[in-house]
Amino acid sequence: MRSRIRGRLRAWATVGVTLAVVAGTAAAAPAESPHSDLGPDITAIMNKPAYKHAQWGLLEVDTESGRTVHSMNPDQFFMPGSTVKLITISSAWHALGPDHRFTTPVNAIGQRNGSTLTGNLALLAQGDLTMGGRTKPDGSVDFTPIDHTYADDIPGATLTPEDPLAGLDEIAHQVRDSGITTVDGDVVIDSRLFAPPPISPTPTPLIINDNVIDLLSTPTSPGQPAQLSWRPQVAPYQVTSDVRTVAAGGTTDIQVAASPDGTKITLSGTIAADSPPALKISQVQDPNAFGRTALIEALGRAGVTVTAPPTGPNPDATLPASYAGDPQVAAFVSPPYRDYAKLILNVSHNLGANLALCNMAVTVGSKNCFDGFPVVHDFLTKTANVDPTQFQQADGRGDVPVDRVTPEGLNQLLAYWLHTPDADAFRTSLPILGVSGTGALFCATDCPAKGKVFAKPGTIIGFDLLNQQLAINAQTYAGYLEADDGHLYTFFVGVNGAAAPNIQGFFDVNDDVDEIAVILQQEACAERDGGRPHHKAFTSAGRPPARTGRP
C-alpha cells in the first residue's frame, strides 16, 4: 500500500508542486486570532480535521482604499511553493522590461569565398526560453493548462502544436539567405552567457524544447503495440517503445529509461485502449551538443551543407575571444518578455522561473545566476517599496527549504503592480480561475467566481513515513479578486502543515483553498453591491469530475 500511495503521490506532484519526503514544519493554528472574523463558511473550512496542526494565513486588501478586509497571520512566514514565482517574475519583468526581446545571433567566423564559408558558424545563446518553439502565428507564446514539462508527474499533460525546432529553422533560412550554401568547417554553440547554476531544473543559455524529448504513446487495439511519436527528432537520439495496448479500463503505466548520455530512450509498460494519448518526457543531457546537431540538421533542410560531422560534442574550444570582424549572418528574435512571463506564471514553468534569475544577472554584467538576487532585492526596495525581509528565497521557482513569504509581503507586491502602466498586463498574465493556464483546471463550470480570480497557486507535498500519510506542507494562492464592477482586491490564502490520508485528501485541501478564494470573491461582489453574499460552493459541482492535481 505504501509503495502505491508514494507512486501516486509522485504522479500527482503537480505544476507548482515541490515533491519531497519531508515533515511539515508549520506551527499549530492558534485557537483565536484578533483578526479571525472570517465568517462561518471560511471558519468551517479552516476547522476541518486535516488542519488540526496546521497554520493558516489569509490577507485580503481593498486596493483602492488600502483597507484590510480579512487578516489572519499576515506577517508570519509561510512555505510558499510556486507563489515565489510572483517575486521572481515581477523582478524580471521590471529588470528586463515587458517589451524586451532576446536576440540570438549567428556569426560567421572565417573567410567567405562566394557561397562557401571556410570556418565556423557560431550561435551565441542568449537565454531565450523557447527559441520559437511555442510561438503562434500571431507572435504570442502558446501553452496548455498542464505543461509538457510535467508529463512525468501528471497525467493529462499535453503538447502545444508548434514545432520546437522553429527558431533553428528560421536561423538556418537566414544563413542561406545571406548567401552561404556551404560551411567548410563546423557549427558551435557559444554558451558563455552565464554558468548554469546548481538549482533544479537547471537553466542553460541555449534551451530547445525546454531541454526535453517529448514521447507520446497512443493506444491501438488490445494486444497490439501502442503508436509512438516523439519530438524533436534530432540525431543521435533514438527512441524505441515496448508499450502494449491493453483492454479498455486496464492499467496505463508507462516507464521511460535512457542511456547515460540521454540519446537512447526506451519506453515500456501498458496503455489502456480507451486511454487518451499518454505523454512522457526524457531529459536532454547536453543542451549544447543537442542544439549544435539540431542547427546542423536545420541548415541541411535549408540547403546549407556543413562538412563537420553532425553529431558529437560541442566544439566550444574553437570559440573566439570576441566576434570583432566576424559578420552576423542570422539572428532569431523572441516574443516580448511579457509573453514569457505569462507562460511562466500560467503553467508554473519552473525552468523559466529559474532562468529569470540568470536573465537578471546578465543585465548587471554577471555570469553568476545568483547575482540575480541583488536585482530582485533592489526591485523590492527601490521600486516596489516592499520590505524584502518579508521574503526568503534561494531559487526562482519556490523549490528549496529556504523559501518563505508573508501574506503581507505578497499583498504589497501585488498592490505595487496596480499603480504601474503594466497593471492589466501583469494581472492577466496570472492563471485565471476557470479560464486560462492552471486556473482552467478548476472552477470550470458551475462556479460563480469563474474569470474573476487572477492568482498564482503553490504547493509543497511529501510523504510522511512515520504516519503513512501525505504531508501537505504548503497549499497557497495569491493574486487578485475582481468584483462584478471591476473593483480589485489583493489576497493571499494558504495553509502550512496540513495532513491527508490519501490522494483524495490532497485534492480536498486544494479545493478548500480554492473555495476560500471563491468565498472572498463573492463577498467582494456583495460588498460592492451593498448586499449580502450568496455563496455557492463549487468544489463538487463546479470542478471537473476527474482531478489532475493542483498546478
* Cβ atoms within 10 Å of 210's Cβ, excluding its own: 22
Contact 438, 431 (CB under 8 A): yes
As a whole number, the mean pLDDT across the chain is 90
What is residue 29's predicted lDDT score, i.e. its pLDDT?
43
Residue that has been written with the C-alpha cell 499583498 in this structure: 411
d(C-alpha 307, C-alpha 150), whole Å: 38
pLDDT beyond 80 at 534 = no
Nearest in space to 479 (alpha carbons), one of 435, 527, 509, 447? 435
pLDDT beyond 70 at 535 = no
Model pLDDT for residues 103-147, shown as the tens digit of each residue: 999 999 999 999 999 999 999 999 999 999 999 999 999 999 999
At 438, the pLDDT band (50, 70, 90 cuts) reads: confident
Contact 390, 408 (CB under 8 A): yes
**CA quadruple 518, 524, 526, 529: dihedral, nearest 10:** -140
Q: Which of 20-29, 159-168, 498-507 has the lowest mean pLDDT?
A: 20-29
pLDDT beyond 70 at 542 = no
Question: Quick one: residue 393, left, alpha or beta (phi over 0 = left, psi -120 to 50 = alpha)?
Answer: beta
Is 404 in a helix, a strand, or coil?
strand
Q: Which of 38-42, 268-272, 526-530 has the lowest mean pLDDT?
A: 526-530
pLDDT beyond 80 at 452 = yes
What is residue 549's predicted lDDT score, i.e. its pLDDT?
38
What is residue 36's predicted lDDT score, i.e. its pLDDT?
55
Is 340 in a helix, a strand, or coil?
helix
Model pLDDT for residues 19-54, shown as the tens digit of each residue: 443 333 333 344 444 445 799 999 999 999 999 999
What is residue 266's predicted lDDT score, i.e. its pLDDT?
98
Q: Where are the alpha helices (DSSP H) in 419-502?
A: 423-427
Interaxial angle between packed helices 2-11 and 503-529, expressed in degrees from 0 to 180 and rounded to the nearest 10? 40
pLDDT beyond 60 at 539 = no
List, as own/partner pairs, every contact residues 248-257 make where C-beta atoms lie below 8 angstroms and the sequence separation is at least 24, other chains included. Answer: 248/222, 248/272, 248/273, 248/274, 249/274, 250/222, 252/155, 252/278, 254/217, 254/278, 254/280, 256/152, 256/215, 256/280, 256/281, 256/282
What's the gap between Cα 532 and its chain centre?
38
Contact 109, 123 (CB under 8 A): no
Q: Which residues pair with 436 in a beta bridge?
A: 432
Secondary structure tally for the chain: helices H, strands E: 11, 20
Q: What is the DSSP string of 221-257?
A: STTSBPEEEEES--TT-EEEE--EEE-TT---EEEEE
d(C-alpha 35, C-alpha 58), whole Å: 10
What is residue 447's predicted lDDT score, i.e. its pLDDT?
86
d(C-alpha 6, C-alpha 469), whole Å: 9
Give the cell for residue 105. Answer: 545571433
Contact 107, 327 (CB under 8 A): yes
pLDDT beyond 60 at 267 = yes
Contact 460, 18 (CB under 8 A): yes
Per the omega criterion (within 30 degrees of 0), is the bond before 327 cis?
no
The order of strands in the sheet holding 227-231 is 227-231, 212-218, 278-283
Q: Which residues pair with 111 in a beta bridge?
A: 118
Q: Write out the H or E segment, with its range, that includes residue 42.
A: helix 39-46
Residue 541 exposed, middle or buried by CB count within 10 Å (0-12, 13-18, 19+): exposed
Cα–Cα separations (whole angstroms), residue 93 to 67, 104, 435, 483? 28, 19, 23, 27
What is residue 531's predicted lDDT score, i.e. its pLDDT?
57
Q: Write out the H or E segment, with its range, that includes residue 195.
A: none
Model pLDDT for residues 172-215, shown as the tens digit of each residue: 999 999 999 999 999 999 999 999 999 999 999 999 999 999 99
Q: Which residues pair with 333 in a beta bridge?
A: 103
What is residue 288's predicted lDDT score, i.e. its pLDDT?
98
Residue that has been written with the C-alpha cell 485580503 in this structure: 60
Model pLDDT for residues 349-372, shown as the tens digit of each residue: 999 999 999 999 999 999 999 999
pLDDT beyond 80 at 405 = yes
CA torsion sign, 66 to 67 to 72 to 76? positive
Q: Which residues contact 325 (CB under 8 A, 6 or more apart)?
A: none
Encoded amino acid at 109, one letter = I
Model pLDDT for residues 322-341, shown as the tens digit of each residue: 999 999 999 999 999 999 99
pLDDT > 90 in the chain, percent: 84
d(C-alpha 319, C-alpha 313), whole Å: 14
Q: Write out the H or E segment, with its range, that includes residue 46.
A: helix 39-46
